[in-house]
A and B are shown apart, each in its own frame.
Chain A
Amino acid sequence: MKPAPFDYVRAKSLGEALAALGDDAMPLAGGQSLLPLLGLRMASARLLVDIGHLDELRQSSATDATVTLGAAVTHAEIEDGRVPDPGHGLMRSIARKLAYRAVRNQGTIGGSVAMADPAADWPACLVALGATARIAGPDGERRVAVTDLIEDIYTTSLVPGEIIVSFDIPRLHAAAKTGTAKVMRKTGAFAMSFVVAVLHDGDQADRIVLAGAGRRAERLAETSDAVAAGMDEAALRAAVAADLAGLMDAPDDYAVRLHTAVVLRALAEARRS
């Protein structure tokens, strides 16, 4: 289980990284998802461009309205509260249950989004928080909502040569309520179902975001509307089923039971928060 050969360069600046990312080159940050894929020879690259230490990607900042997290901020830094949390603790609590500490110490939020695993935690969280990614590329910079950046299973709109630099994440309203729920085969495993619920976020619509069901983390539109409308549990269940029918190719009965239960659990936690 050793990767095929590749070259490696540690970029000294974002500019140098962008210049190095030509054909068949891949950016490498924490490596916690990419290196296993390379080792299994399920992915390959001519060149890895190490961007994990770049200042531009390591910086975080905050205004009253927005928190900006560098893409190379690690899961552990979020867990430990070393960077601001726009979700009033939501991101810390998600980080705490993401894989294992030794993985969290190296893995980055940007890497997680770029990998676009349909069961991953950060895409669901960032979609729920309405985050926007700032992306640098050979033709300059662009911004795109995370919900649009991730297009499909393991697929983003990133083109070769582009790097996620940071995420701009609107702060939740002080009165917002959040909840998460995750069902895993075991502690630290990828989610079978993961839900982030954000309610009462000022004048923003409620967001119930589900990962592990469809081809990417998505806001459950009907469910979110039903929650906002204060519908009863039966109506909520129907809404989740309707959303799942749109999200999955023919969800089986178990998928409906599982994801419905996880949605309800996340909602209950949000209401308690």
Chain B
Amino acid sequence: MRTITLSVNGEDLTVTVEPRESLADVLRERLDLTGTHLGCEHGVCGACTIEVDGKATRACLILAVMAEGRRITTIEGLRDDPVAAVLRRHFHEQHALQCGFCTPGMLIMARDLLNRSTPSSEKDVREGLAGQMCRCTGYAGIVRAVLAAADETTSTRSPTP
């Protein structure tokens, strides 16, 4: 076991972990941040997607000890994020979620997509979200929501840092 300090959603949290523990498990089990969901634990489904140093990252494919000293943002840390807020509204209006299990990872990836570029076509959005599985919606509402959010945020988004 080792004690590490993780910067999570702007707060430094000290936690004792085994080196083998994934960041996803530590966020969920030790820090009670359960908005990061686990759908496959091998990097394919995208449900656990979070941000590490501003980059979308599979929380199941990074050890907590690797994340020490890096800036971690989970869905819980995006309550007041303006781009996430726009996405949330459009997800709601476009019926872009059903069971809700994929939703946190989907939102984080969609936000990442918007922050990096302006997806102008449906194809861009679909490829950008290809690593985020949704088993309920068939993606149509999600794609509509992201395109609508892209439209709305084009003028307000800050360029990639």
Which residues of chain B have C-beta atoms less than 8 A from A173's C-beta?
none
Interface residues of B (CB under 8 A from A): 18-20, 22, 25, 41-43, 46, 49, 52, 55-58, 60-63, 65-66, 68, 109, 112-113, 126-128, 130-132
Of A102-110, A197-205, A213-221, the stretch lying at the interface with chain B is A102-110
What's the Cα separation between A36 and B62 when bound, in Å?
Answer: 10
Residue of B20, B22, B128, B132 most packed against chain A (CB within 10 A): B20
Interface residues of A (CB under 8 A from B): 1-8, 10, 28, 31-32, 35-36, 38-40, 48, 50, 52, 76, 99-103, 105-106, 186-188
- Which secondary structure dominates where chain A touches chain B? loop
What's the Cα separation between A76 and B62 when bound, in Å?
Answer: 16
Q: Is the CB of A35 within 8 A of B131?
A: no
Q: How many A-B residue pairs have CB under 8 A?
A: 90
CB distance from A207 to the nearest CB of B (A): 28
For residue A35, which residue of chain B has the nearest CB? B61
Q: Which residue of the partner chain, among B18, B68, B109, B126, contacts A101 with CB atoms under 8 Å?
A: B109
Q: Is the CB of A102 within 8 A of B56?
A: yes
- Contact A39:B41 (CB < 8 A) given known A99-B131, A100-B131, A101-B109: yes
- Which secondary structure dominates where chain B touches chain A? mixed
Which residues of chain A have C-beta atoms less than 8 A from B49's C-beta?
102
Q: Is the CB of A8 within 8 A of B131?
A: no
What's the Cα separation between A156 and B3 when bound, in Å?
Answer: 36
Which residues of chain B have C-beta atoms less than 8 A from A40's C-beta?
42
Q: Is the CB of B46 within 8 A of A100?
A: yes
